[in-house]
Amino acid sequence: MHNLNLVKMLDFPQLGDERGELIVVEGGTGIPFEIKRVFYICGTKKNVIRGQHANMKTEFILINVAGSSKVRVRDGSGNEALFVLNQPNTGIYLPRMVWKDMYDFSDDSVLLCLASTHYDANEYIRDYDEFMQIVRDGNNI
């Protein structure tokens, strides 16, 4: 099984009333890992591609809490999937060792990223050819 089979959309509970919506995202409950890092991407122009990397150790949840964006994931073996994030109560789970490209950001996009590890530049694979070679060699770390 390749890691692309592990990528999945998630729905988060909405607890709304006449005051508005409250969306709950909890590590260990709706998230399959302990959250170690939180960051968000905003102010990105529509023609800019973010991500463009794979991670040897880190898992991610991506949630567009405002606006919309698209996420293309690839497994390095020729398989890919495309997801549209446009609702604040849905997200996408990305396991380690999948290539991710985030793009087509709306002007009001705020893409929230939850990560399973603290930042470590050494665990990022930023060259797609290198990523494909690692996958081909079976060195999925």
Q: Is the pLDDT of residue 140 over 80?
A: no
* Predicted confidence (pLDDT) per residue in 77-112, tens digit: 899 999 999 999 999 999 999 999 999 999 999 999
**141 in a structural domain:** no
**57 in a structural domain:** yes
pTM: 0.91
Higher pLDDT, 67 or 18: 67
**Catalytic position from the list 2, 50, 53, 72:** 53
Number of domains observed in the structure of the chain: 1
pLDDT reported for residue 141: 60
pLDDT reported for residue 22: 86
Confidence of residue 121 (pLDDT cuts 50, 70, 90): very high
Measured at the CA of 10, the angle between CA 85 and CA 94, to 5 degrees, comes to 75
2 catalytic per annotation: no
The strand order across the sheet containing 60-66 reads: 8-11, 90-94, 60-66, 110-115, 37-42
Confidence of residue 63 (pLDDT cuts 50, 70, 90): very high
Q: Which domain holds residue 127?
A: 3-136
Query: What distance in Å separates the CA atoms of residue 90 and residue 109, rounded to the nearest whole number?
Result: 14
Q: Is the pLDDT of residue 1 over 60?
A: no
CATH number, domain with residue 110: 2.60.120.10
